[in-house]
């Protein structure tokens, strides 16, 4: 399993790809622009980068060239809509290990990531997140633990207890010991935003929770709960 950074400017596609790769056991951080990538990229942690070429603030080719100039142990996969042979040749020449089209089957992307991870001889891990209830810790796959506040823990545990199915806001609010009818749901939205940001800032990992319109929240990655 690998720690990835995914650069894709289309939000829905970015979220779908991240969810798919997390479900395959990888840890994924996302970026929507060159600036976001450069702010988030950590060479000691991200060993595979999946990079789109057409970006709102520049071209991914230039980014790949700059990364290669740093002589990093980094696998690079281009994932783009540019289907021309000349584009593919240019992408490989500037340093990409693989060049895939966005029309490629997702299983092909997963196989490419896994083959590249093996070639780079990445250390393995279980691919599962862990919620340590006794110590109120959240552990991303292959990364150090993140300390949770009492509210973080309560909200996260309520969502995880859905077993991969949607958990309503009413259920989460009840877990917090609040009256749903009197509770301002914006407080829960703020808590979720803060929790996501906390995980990204602590370990550079995207919290695998999907917000479902009119349904609530869904924890979509594999997770072990230690009581």
Residues 196-219 have a mean pLDDT of 85
**How far apart are alpha carbons 23 and 21 in whole angstroms?**
5
What pLDDT shows up at residue 190?
A: 94
**How far apart are alpha carbons 182 and 193 in whole angstroms?**
21
Assign domain 3-119 one CATH number from 2.60.120.10, 1.10.10.60, 3.40.50.300, 3.40.50.2300: 3.40.50.2300
Q: What distance, in Å, lies between the first and last C-alpha atoms of the chain?
A: 25
Which has the closest alpha carbon to 155: 191, 180, 129?
Answer: 191
Domain boundaries, the chain: 3-119, 129-226
**Which region among 8-22, 119-133, 204-218 has the lowest average model confidence (pLDDT)?**
119-133
At residue 79's C-alpha, the angle toward residues 3 and 113, to 5°, is: 35
Structure tokens at 105: 């089957």
pLDDT grade, residue 156 (50/70/90)? very high
pLDDT at 121 over 90: no
196 SS3 class? helix
Residues 100-107 have a mean pLDDT of 92
**How far apart are alpha carbons 200 and 40 in whole angstroms?**
9
Which has the closest alpha carbon to 80: 1, 8, 163, 188?
Answer: 8
Residues 160-171 have a mean pLDDT of 94
What pLDDT shows up at residue 118?
A: 82
Residues 177-185 have a mean pLDDT of 94
CATH class of 129-226: mainly alpha
- At residue 5, φ and ψ (nearest 5 deg) are -125, 130
Which has the closest alpha carbon to 27: 137, 128, 163?
Answer: 128
Which has the closest alpha carbon to 33: 12, 7, 51?
Answer: 7
**How far apart are alpha carbons 59 and 64 in whole angstroms?**
9
**Arithmetic mean of pLDDT over the chain:** 90
Q: Which residues of 14-36 are buried (b: 16+ CB within 10 A; e: fewer)?
A: beebbbbbbebbbbbbbbbebeb
**How far apart are alpha carbons 137 and 147 in whole angstroms?**
5
Query: For residue range 2-39, what is the model confidence (pLDDT) as tens digits?
Result: 889 999 999 999 999 999 999 888 899 999 999 999 99
**DSSP secondary structure of 141-167:** TTS--EE--HHHHHHHHHHHTTTTS-B
Question: Tokens 């966005």 sit at which residue?
Answer: 102
Q: What percentage of the chain has pLDDT greater than the value 70?
A: 96
């Amino acid at each position: 399993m690998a720690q990835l950074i995914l650069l894709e400017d289309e939000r829905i596609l970015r979220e779908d790809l991240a969810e798919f790769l997390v479900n395959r056991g990888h840890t994924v951080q996302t970026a929507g622009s060159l600036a976001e990538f450069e702010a988030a990229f950590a060479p000691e942690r991200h060993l595979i980068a999946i990079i789109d070429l057409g970006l709102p603030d520049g071209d991914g080719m230039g980014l790949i060239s700059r990364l290669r100039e740093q002589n990093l142990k980094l696998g690079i996969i281009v994932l783009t809509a540019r289907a021309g042979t000349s584009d593919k040749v240019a992408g490989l020449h500037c340093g990409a290990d693989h060049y895939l089209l966005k029309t490629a089957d997702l299983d092909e992307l997963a196989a490419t990531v896994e083959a590249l991870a093996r070639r780079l001889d990445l250390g393995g891990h279980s691919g599962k997140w862990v919620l340590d209830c006794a110590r109120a810790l959240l552990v991303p796959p292959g990364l150090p633990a993140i300390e949770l506040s009492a509210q973080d823990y309560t909200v996260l545990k309520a969502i995880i207890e859905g077993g991969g199915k949607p958990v309503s806001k009413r259920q989460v609010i009840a877990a917090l010991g609040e009256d749903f009818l009197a509770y301002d749901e914006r407080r829960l939205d703020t808590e979720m935003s803060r929790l996501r940001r906390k995980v990204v800032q602590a370990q550079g990992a995207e919290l695998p929770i999907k917000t479902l319109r009119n349904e609530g929240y869904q924890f979509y990655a594999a997770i072990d709960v230690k009581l």
